[in-house]
């Protein structure tokens, strides 16, 4: 939300149009597969005119990426559970311990 998009009108180019992604909603007809993107368009467009909207995904490198389902949250902040092995006379024991994380970005 808030990302800029490029608008083209076929052979005529953009003709001074600009668009900003306003909202992202789940498509009620196919909630598991589709999203509805709503753009705020600035400029003059006549009714019935076809336009193409292109939006790119910002890319960034992260030190560690984990699934959203692994991130938990409580009053102390965000964390993930990490499995730690401890050796004992009867073999290894495994325990889940808390590791605090800082969420830099998240998707749906």
**pLDDT tens digits, one per residue of 7-19:** 887 766 656 788 8
CA distance 29 to 32: 9
> What are the C-alpha distances in Å from 1 to residues 5, 13, 21, 54, 80?
11, 24, 5, 14, 27
Give the number of residues written for the chain. Answer: 108
Structure pTM? Answer: 0.49
Tokens 């005529």, residue? 12
- In tens, the pLDDT along 27-58 reads 999 888 899 989 888 888 788 888 888 887 76
């Amino acid at each position: 939300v808030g990302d800029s998009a490029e608008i083209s009108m076929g052979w005529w180019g953009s003709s001074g149009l600009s668009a900003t992604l306003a909202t992202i909603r789940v498509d009620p007809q196919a909630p598991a597969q589709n999203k509805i993107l709503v753009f705020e368009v600035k400029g003059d467009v006549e009714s019935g005119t076809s336009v193409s909207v292109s939006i790119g995904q910002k890319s960034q490198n992260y030190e560690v990426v984990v699934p959203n389902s692994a991130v938990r949250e409580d009053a102390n902040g965000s964390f993930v559970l990490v499995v730690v092995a401890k050796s004992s006379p009867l073999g290894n024991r495994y325990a889940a311990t808390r590791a605090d994380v800082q969420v830099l970005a998240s998707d749906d």
